[in-house]
Amino acid sequence: MNKNREVRVRMAPSPTGFLHIGGARTALFNWLFAKHHQGTFILRIDDTDTERSTEASLHEIYSGLKWLGLNWGETYVQSERRDIYERYVTRLLASGNAYYCYCTPEELDAIRKEARVEKKIRFYDGRCRHLTPEEIERLTAEGRKPTVRMKMPDAPIRVEDIILGTRNIDAATLEDEVIVRANGLPTYNLSSIADDAELEITHVIRGVEHLNNTSKQLAIANALGCTIPQFAHIPLVLNTDGQKLSKRHHGALVSVNRYREHGYLPEAMLNFLARLGWSYDEKQEIFSVDELIEKFDLARVGKSGSVFDSKKLDWLNAHYITQLDIAARTDAVIPFWEKAGIDVTTKTRQQLEDIVTAIGERLTNLADIVSQTNYFFDAPSEYEPKAAKKWWGNSDEKRRQAVDILTNLATVLSEIPAFELEAVELAIWTYTDAHDIKRVLAMQTLRIALTGTSFGPSLFDILVLLGREQVLERIGKAIAHLT
């Protein structure tokens, strides 16, 4: 039935929080599927729950999707489409497929508890299906506002899923679902399938947590005679605790925008998300966006949930950062310096690029630039205790030795005609070799004096980037500290 139709898929978030990892992956799979088939990727805001929906959340979702580059073709907002759902409900009511239910939440709670005790398959028994006009009048007089329930069919429902295969849902498990709340607003199961029909969605790609909803929505669609989209229920994204990744249990940790703020690249996130539940072959791990579009196939999406492993994301991110050339990497890193309060205008563009070059492949994420380069901008305010203890020592004799080395190095460095890479290197090696001082000791002693830490890029790079004046000043400070 959908064979000759253009592929139309949708991402249907409810704006009740930030865009989270699981939602982003669902969006990605939809987007890749649409792109692969030259179809349309639609964004539909499922905000029928007006209580929980917020404007702020909407912007979070927009900005998250934009950052990832998951551009969409059409936007729909369900709260603006109520007349459409009303039409569908009217039809359902008229055809006798839906009915008013006057049960109060308290009454429902009671029968729910009872059903549980009696181990019933479903709790709501359809008691309002056959209310007489007199009863309705009485209930209305009591001030009760009815909901509308869908009358579920007696025949089993067949769900054909691209990933899970064909499933037959026992009719006995189907509950007469509420499709319109007492406040007159439609519920998800009604508006969702109504819009899928209305927007001519061809494929519904969503998380398995919706599998139970699918049979309910199918019942509605069947009663309405709607064209039914194809379904693909993708496995859940799990936290390391094995539970579904959720805002409730795992907090802001799962927010996509949080990763952006920490300096993750969208291409790394996309690559990572794509491999969560999907694989191409037994070798390839790195996929460009274009490759993803070309190779993505729902048939190669697995059935079991996948744990979100941030270590692998880190690895991918580091990889994609190194793919950036120095100019692009510098551009990417500047906002992170600025955000940390570092004044980048104290350096020339060339100096900034030289710093980034010196850092090389050491960045796991862009935010790392701050802790790895702050000493280029300001002299260290303290010396890392562990490093100082190891290389400067804590006995008077060791400290004297460190001071000695620093003093000599200062002399050597001040005497070099041109303070350039090779000259500096040659001068230092000449000094260490002539005085029979271990290279590591000299270098680490100096490194701590200049940077405050015992690790980082090549010390020669640091020396040259800092410049003679700054180097000598810092050595002086270190000597003063040691004596």
Partner RNA sequence: GGCGCUAUCGUCUAGGGGUAAGGACAGAUGGUUCUCAGCCAUCAAACCGGGGUUCGAAUCCCCGUAGCGCUACCA
User: From the CB of residue 118, how many other CB atoms can be counted at a distance below 10 Å?
Assistant: 8
Q: How many whole angstroms separate alpha carbon 338 and alpha carbon 378?
A: 14
Q: Taking the complex as a whole, how short is the minimal distance between the CB of residue 65 and RNA, in angstroms?
A: 16
Residue 326's nearest CA partner among 362, 353, 361, 363 is 353
What token pair was written down for 3? 């064979």
Which residue, 6 or 160, is less far from RNA as judged by CB? 160
Which residue, 113 or 349, is less far from RNA as judged by CB? 113
Q: Taking the complex as a whole, how short is the minimal distance between the CB of residue 38 and RNA, in angstroms?
A: 25
What token pair was written down for 191? 């508006």
* Given the residues 3, 35, 113, 247, the one annotated as active site: 247
Sign for the pseudo-dihedral over CA of 270, 276, 278, 283: positive
Which residue, 143 or 341, is less far from RNA as judged by CB? 143
Q: Taking the complex as a whole, how short is the minimal distance between the CB of residue 216 and RNA, in angstroms?
A: 9
Which residue, 164 or 427, is less far from RNA as judged by CB? 164
What token pair was written down for 423? 């000259």
Under DSSP, is residue 180 helix (H, G, I), strand (E, B) or coil?
strand
Contact in structure between 475 and 449 (CB atoms under 8 Å)? yes
Which residue, 69 or 360, is less far from RNA as judged by CB? 360
247 is known as an active-site residue: yes
| Tokens 């996130």 belong to residue | 269
Q: How many whole angstroms separate alpha carbon 192 and alpha carbon 177?
A: 14
Which residue, 125 or 338, is less far from RNA as judged by CB? 125
Q: Taking the complex as a whole, how short is the minimal distance between the CB of residue 303 and RNA, in angstroms?
A: 4
Residue 419's nearest CA partner among 373, 376, 470 is 470
Which residue, 19 or 103, is less far from RNA as judged by CB? 103
Q: Which residues of 45-74 are buried (b: 16+ CB within 10 A; e: fewer)?
A: bbbbbeeebeeebbebbbebbebbebebee
Q: Taking the complex as a whole, how short is the minimal distance between the CB of residue 277 and RNA, in angstroms?
A: 4
Non-local (6+) Cβ contacts of 82 within 8 A are 185, 186
Q: Taking the complex as a whole, how short is the minimal distance between the CB of residue 63 and RNA, in angstroms?
A: 19
Element (H, E) at 179: strand 178-180
Burial class (CB in 10 A: 0-12, 13-18, 19+), 426: exposed
Question: Would you list the DSSP string of 232-288?
Answer: EEEPPEE-TTSSBP-HHHHGGGGBHHHHHHTT--HHHHHHHHHTSSB--SSS-----
Q: Taking the complex as a whole, how short is the minimal distance between the CB of residue 363 and RNA, in angstroms?
A: 8
Helices assigned H by DSSP within 340-367: 349-359
Residues acting as catalytic residues:
247
